[in-house]
């Protein structure tokens, strides 16, 4: 066999040109992503606190908007309500979804296929479409159990859980299906129950999908506005999204600085949760190997 023509070596100039283009593209994408953050940070530090006076480098930057926000509003109450509702929704929806996904993945029972299809069809319709019947149901609940009715943290948490269980169940079921059933069978042969197999085998191996699901639910809940604005009307029960919207609902220009401070502080719980769950995602991807 005759050898083909030698591969043509790449010219140093073309290599440098390609690297330069990639670096320029990366810088452009980074600038595009950071521009909104810089604008909101500038508005938060702007002493005038108005939208039309916001510049990239505001003159006399300070923390006046933050002090005004804390002194004149129920910001920390809204903050506590948002974190509480988001954490409860993430934890409880994760527990319910994991149990449902395990049942759909590992067991065969009558109505299994119909249940899966039903969950999928329900997710095609936004939860807000049922806001009128939901409001009527929770009005009746308020008369008998006020703690779980309208204008209560627990009531809106139950609403959010109902909206998140379906999509999380499908997401976890797909991940559970990828875990070999032989691991469950080995645990059952050793005398473990289904509950012990679920807790000791499935959950540790499913750490990545559990962490991702918790993070997505937390982000969706802490930023949710439509349902919270209908079910939480009292100033002491509002979440951050509803409370901060009230600052710019009337005169948008005058309170924009306080609004910017609130939006920056809203991102803090999400960033902290991501940093906390990141190690579980990495650990779940690398752990779980089976001894031979």
Q: Which of 70, 69, 78, 74 is nearest to 49 (CA)?
A: 69
pLDDT tens-digit map of 58-80: 766 778 888 988 988 889 999 99
The dihedral built from the CA positions of residue 209, 98, 105 and 195, taken in this order, carries a sign that is: positive
What predicted TM-score, i.e. pTM, was given to this entire model? 0.81
- What distance in Å separates the CA atoms of residue 270 and residue 163, rounded to the nearest whole number? 20
* Percentage, residues of the chain above pLDDT 90: 11
Task: Report the pLDDT value the prediction gives residue 291, as an integer from 0 to 100.
Answer: 40
Which residue shows structure tokens 């029960």?
A: 237
Residue 57 tokens read as 């480098």
Per-residue pLDDT tens over the stretch 172-221: 888 888 888 888 778 878 777 778 888 888 888 888 888 888 998 999 89
How far apart CA 48 and CA 58 sit, in angstroms, is: 9
């Amino acid at each position: 066999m005759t050898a083909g023509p030698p591969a043509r070596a790449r010219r140093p100039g073309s290599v440098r040109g390609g690297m330069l283009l990639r670096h320029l593209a990366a810088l452009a994408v980074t600038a595009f992503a950071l521009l909104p953050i810089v604008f909101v940070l500038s508005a938060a530090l702007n002493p005038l606190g108005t939208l039309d006076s916001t510049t990239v480098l505001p003159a006399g930057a300070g923390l006046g908007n933050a002090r005004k926000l804390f002194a004149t509003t129920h910001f920390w109450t809204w903050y506590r309500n948002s974190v509480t509702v988001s954490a409860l929704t993430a934890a409880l929806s994760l527990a319910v979804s994991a149990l449902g996904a395990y049942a759909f993945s590992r067991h065969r029972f009558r109505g299994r296929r119909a249940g899966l299809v039903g969950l999928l069809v329900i997710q095609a319709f936004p939860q807000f479409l049922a806001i009128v019947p939901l409001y009527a149901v929770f009005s009746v609940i308020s008369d008998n159990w006020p703690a779980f009715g309208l204008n209560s943290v627990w009531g809106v948490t139950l609403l959010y859980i109902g909206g998140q269980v379906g999509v999380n169940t499908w997401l976890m079921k797909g991940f559970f299906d990828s875990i070999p059933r032989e691991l469950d069978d080995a645990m059952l042969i050793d005398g473990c129950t289904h509950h012990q197999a679920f807790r000791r085998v499935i959950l540790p191996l499913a750490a990545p999908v559990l962490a991702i699901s918790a993070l997505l639910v937390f982000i969706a809940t802490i930023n949710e506005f439509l349902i919270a604005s209908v079910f939480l009307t009292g100033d002491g029960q509002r979440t951050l999204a509803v409370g901060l919207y009230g600052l710019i609902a009337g005169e948008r220009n005058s309170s924009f600085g306080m609004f910017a401070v609130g939006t920056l502080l809203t991102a803090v719980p999400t960033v902290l949760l991501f940093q906390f769950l990141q190690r579980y995602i990495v650990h779940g991807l690398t752990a779980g190997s089976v001894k031979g």
